[in-house]
Amino acid sequence: MPTKTIPYQKTGYFSRLICDYLAEKDALNPLYGNFPKLKNFRKQIEQKEVFSQESRELLVTALKKQYSNVDASTTTRDNIQALADTNTFTITTGHQLNLFTGPLYFLYKIFSVINLSEKLNKEHPEHHFVPVYWMASEDHDFDEINYFNFKRQKIQWNREASGAVGELNTQGLEEVLKTVEHTFGASENAQFLNTLFAEAYTKHNTLTEATRYLANQLFKEYGLVIVDGNDALLKKAFIPYAERELKENLSYKNVTETTEKLIDLGYAEQVHPREINLFYLNENLRERIIERDGRFFVDETELSFSKEEILKELENHPERFSPNALLRPLFQEVILPNLCYVGGGGELAYWFQLKDYFDAVQVPFPMLLLRNSVLLLPFKLSEKLKKLDVTVEELFLKQHELKTKHTRRISEIDIDFSQQREHLQKQFKELYTLAKKTDASFIGAVAAQEKKQLNGLDHLEKRLLKAQKRKLADELERLTAIQDALFPNQSLQERTKNFSEFYVEYGDRLFSEIKQNLDPLVNEFTVLGLDTI
């Protein structure tokens, strides 16, 4: 089938906050800056032009050091050097250091920033735009990143882990490689994946180095620049903001106020702010900094500092201070000449809590763009859907709703009591009128009888549907098998499956077709038919 798009609100998989944002509801306007439309990038450029030359030179120096042992493309190295120029800006996404990229949406994030950068380079040739992948190397939740799924198998790296995941050594991944080689098979595409895994995870010392190698190999031809924020030189630029965090609890005050506005509008809080939104980072250690009675403690340790001591520690060792999920966006925007952050729905939800804080510290707030979301639809499954006369949009329904809808469609008898309900309600409307004229005390009895009879119709309809579902079980099983294949565990494919499952079958064409068919500014869910590959 050809590529098609579906409005996010019709998929049932995106929050009201994200759907309202995409609809540009007025109530949300105070929570973000410029909406991500092509025409608005001019205004965003003007806001970010304040980015200092000193910061640019520091960034280029740090990146050249990070890339010193990387086989980067000429395009990527040119992009790094271009960041020293005042007319160069970045389009950024971030992602955890998931084993072998983790879920499919890693690809969609990266291609979103690559495609948007290319689109902007054509639209604004007087400027230069660089796609950036910010590695979440300081995260500490190892259980979220230590596996990936291939078909129905979970391929997992088991080890003890503490501290920032990016600093973990790659010990134990030789054993995972054996599983990978056995699982992927011996085809040409599988051999490429086996080699890629081996080169990334058995020839690099840390998870950060392995992830940088992997992402560079997959995307270097597009000029992707990979940034590791866990860098002493980059963190030096963040010292003034970390100092205010320790002295004034500024993020807590501002984010709390913004979060209250968000809750008052009926939306949920995504991330809860703490009094100090910094971790203390050292070898095998990443724990919260907590202030009590004027003294600063590192949670779960015996480390503590006076106010003067912790400020001196920050000045001498900025690399030991790690921003949490709420402060990391500020760190990123201080470091990069960034115009737009591209993220998933959950990520954007916590960015909406930050606008007032950014204003308070006088850092331009970036555009927020929902990354592309994609359903890869293999040709065989597409053909099966056609035979069942089911649209791909219907597959986004909850499974019980899908089965009920399809049963009604193919049933030889019409199991829809809507007309009977309308007829019954008309009759009771007349009874209500009669009761009012006779004795108003009968109205309650009429209402009870109406409810009883409507419930009876509902119960009968459900029994008939259940009977028909049994009769049509074979076809319904074929339909639910298709949905289960495309929506594993009733979740979006992109959140569960790994790119390797599709690469084994389609090879490099998978990447080229994804890139070619994703428009980062379309703001709709993409269904990509793999018969086009």
Extract the tokens encoding 256.
């709390």
Query: CA-CA distance, 226 to 238, in Å (whole number)?
Result: 19
Query: CA-CA distance, 129 to 224, in Å (whole number)?
Result: 11
One-letter amino acid identity for 272?
H
Q: Where are the alpha helices (DSSP H) in 472-498?
A: 473-486
Read off the pLDDT of residues 208-242 as tens digits, 9 standing for 90 and up.
999 999 999 999 999 999 999 999 999 999 999 99
What is the pLDDT averaged over residues 79-89?
Answer: 98
E-state strands within 87-224: 88-95, 128-135, 147-150, 153-156
Q: How confident is the model at residue 416 (pLDDT cuts 50, 70, 90)?
A: low
Question: Do residues 360 and 392 both lie within one domain?
Answer: no
CB atoms within 10 A of CB 298: 21
> Is 323 contained in some domain?
no
Question: Do residues 362 and 387 both lie within one domain?
Answer: no
Q: Is residue 468's pLDDT more than 70? A: no
> Is 186 contained in some domain?
yes
- Give the model's pLDDT for residue 111: 98
Extract the tokens encoding 114.
């690559």
Query: CA-CA distance, 483 to 397, in Å (whole number)?
Result: 9
3-state secondary structure of 260: helix
Q: Are strands 285-292 and 278-282 parallel, antiparallel or unpaired?
A: antiparallel
> Is 146 contained in some domain?
yes
* C-alpha distances in Å from residue 24, one per residue of 31, 246, 308, 384: 11, 36, 46, 38
Question: Do residues 81 and 114 both lie within one domain?
Answer: yes
Question: Do residues 411 and 353 both lie within one domain?
Answer: no
Question: Do residues 360 and 387 both lie within one domain?
Answer: no
Q: Is residue 426's pLDDT more than 80? A: no
One-letter amino acid identity for 264?
D
> Is 271 contained in some domain?
no
Question: Do residues 434 and 346 both lie within one domain?
Answer: no
Give pTM, 2 decimals.
Answer: 0.90
What is the pLDDT averaged over residues 97-104?
Answer: 98
Q: Which of 372, 404, 429 is the last residue of a domain?
A: 372
Q: Is residue 277's pLDDT more than 60? A: yes
> Is 346 contained in some domain?
yes
Question: Do residues 354 and 451 both lie within one domain?
Answer: no
- Give the model's pLDDT for residue 247: 96
Counting the structural domains of the chain, the total is: 2
Question: Do residues 468 and 348 both lie within one domain?
Answer: no
Read off the pLDDT of residues 106-121 as tens digits, 9 standing for 90 and up.
999 999 999 999 999 9
Question: Do residues 334 and 388 both lie within one domain?
Answer: no
Residue 370: partners with Cβ closer than 8 Å, 6 or more residues away:
8, 18, 21, 22, 342, 343, 344, 345, 348, 523
> Is 527 contained in some domain?
no
For 364-395, letters b (16+ CB in 10 Å) and e give bbbbbbbbbbbbbbbeebbebbeebebebebb
3-state secondary structure of 434: helix
Q: Is residue 1's pLDDT more than 60? A: no
Query: CA-CA distance, 215 to 136, in Å (whole number)?
Result: 13
Q: Are 87 and 231 in contact (CB under 8 A)?
A: no
> Is 85 contained in some domain?
yes
Domain range holding 337?
4-236+328-372
Question: Do residues 30 and 95 both lie within one domain?
Answer: yes
Query: CA-CA distance, 225 to 67, in Å (whole number)?
Result: 9
* C-alpha distances in Å from residue 193, one per residue of 187, 207, 217, 374, 392: 10, 18, 11, 22, 30
- Give the model's pLDDT for residue 444: 75
Query: CA-CA distance, 224 to 227, in Å (whole number)?
Result: 10
Query: CA-CA distance, 179 to 150, in Å (whole number)?
Result: 11
> Is 392 contained in some domain?
yes
E-state strands within 168-240: 225-228
Question: Do residues 227 and 116 both lie within one domain?
Answer: yes
Question: Do residues 360 and 452 both lie within one domain?
Answer: no
Read off the pLDDT of residues 470-485 as tens digits, 9 standing for 90 and up.
656 788 888 999 999 9
Read off the pLDDT of residues 154-190 as tens digits, 9 standing for 90 and up.
999 999 999 999 999 999 999 999 999 999 999 999 9
Domain with residue 154: its CATH number is 3.40.50
